[in-house]
Amino acid sequence: MALRLGRLGAGPCWRALRGDYGQLRAWSPRGASARVSRLPGTAAPQPRRGLGHSPSAGGGSWLGTGLAAALAGFAGLAAAAFGHVQRAEMVPKSSGARSPSPGRREEDGDELARRCSAFMTSPVTDLRELRKRPEDIKTKMELMIMETQAQVCRALAQVDGVADFTVDRWERKEGGGGITCVLQDGRVFEKAGVSISVVHGNLSEEAASQMRGRGKVLKRKDGKLPFTAMGVSSVIHPKNPYAPTMHFNYRYFEVEEADGNTHWWFGGGCDLTPTYLNQEDAVHFHRTLKEACDQHGPDIYPKFKKWCDDYFYIVHRGERRGIGGIFFDDLNSPSKEEAFSFVKTCAEAVVPSYVPIVKKHCDDSFTPQDKLWQQLRRGRYVEFNLLYDRGTKFGLFTPGSRIESILMSLPLTARWEYMHSPPENSKEAEILEVLRHPKDWVH
């Protein structure tokens, strides 16, 4: 049954956080490090139609969770996420809908240059091409992920106060490229990466074959299936055991059949992996994501929260990778604009959901035992990424893969001890209980 979603709220991503979260506040651009340029401007909110989502009747997804890692930039990335078994949908209200004026330009040339000047580097796509198609969803998505990368990098650089992001720009010979920004061995962060990919070309035969295996047969033209894929992906590993690891990614994909029919979808999510459980942090993180989802409807967060818990599951350990967040994929209704609006709102929630938690804990005192437990928990993180994450696995076994970007998600250090088991009723055992039995953090 389709569920209606309400009108977007007007608050920007830098709004003050809830006052009941102690000393935590949203990150402000006023205190940004001088090492990076100013934050991108935030466009005024526009009225949009209501959105909704419903369970898939077919049960099979075209592409799934692995596209995030694949978007780090390797050949044949379109197939990275094949095989997921859920699907996210948004459907319009039956009446009272409003849509943006088709003739309105969101950005003129000068505004586009101003926005781009605030990015970590220039967009992957040439500005002349972006100016030709200001209303195209690919242009809007590329600018949004570039802004997200810049906002997250600046927020993290401000918190760290010592280390800089290395900006690594790369090209993909088959079409497109990406920008990988990595901060390593800082005061606060052991490793933080924020990667952009904007790639295009033709689906490989392996990708098309996997699609057929999921019951989706696409019409090729001269043996080719043109595709475009883009996204932003990030994993952040702080040094302090009491500051949690965080991962997010948001992506867009489209493929064109021989008859000109274009299939498109969005996907993404954001999740938290603490070493030790802090109830206040967990509530804050989930509540911030819920507030973002609630701008589009009250039933989205519960659905995508469960989806996240189900996906980030380490089967052989019987536990989740972390305390979850939200996750969705194959979001392709009711329109590109409304689905994009939802993804944009989620991306804007990244910094206020996470950065205040790191600021709160980055200088906490800790013992060698605390650090040991962090290393063991990072071992679980590595296990999930290498054994279960579809994008990572596909990337590692795809010729032409950019291995450095694919493995950006892994921590600098991790540890495996034989038969390690924490004492009963310890704080280490406390987090394991939550990882084995996910909780509702917002009710």
What amino acid positions are annotated as catalytic residues? Answer: 247
What is the rounded CA–CA span in Å between residue 171 and residue 78? 17
CA pair distance 178, 228, nearest whole angstrom: 13
Neighbours of 407 (CB within 10 A): 18
Q: Which helix (H) or strand (E) holds 254?
A: strand 245-256
CA 36/CA 166 separation, integer angstroms: 11
Contact 197, 73 (CB under 8 A): yes
Compute CA 85 distance to the chain's CA centroid, rounded to the nearest angstrom: 19
Tokens encoding 182: 């990595």
Q: Are strands 189-202 and 176-184 parallel, antiparallel or unpaired?
A: antiparallel
Q: Is 31 helix (H, G, I), strand (E, B) or coil?
A: helix
Report how far residue 253's alpha carbon sits from residue 198's, in angstroms, rounded to the nearest whole number. 10
The alpha carbon of 183 is separated from its chain's Cα centroid by a whole number of angstroms, namely 18
Q: What does the block give as tokens for 67?
A: 């596209």
| Cβ-based neighbours of 262, under 8 Å, separated by 6 or more | 254, 255, 256
Q: How much helix, strand and coil, in percent to the nearest 5, is found in the chain?
A: 35, 20, 45
User: What residues are paired with 428 via a beta bridge?
Assistant: none
**Which of 251, 155, 180 lies closest to 402 in space, CA to CA?**
180
Cα(104)–Cα(111) distance, integer angstroms: 14
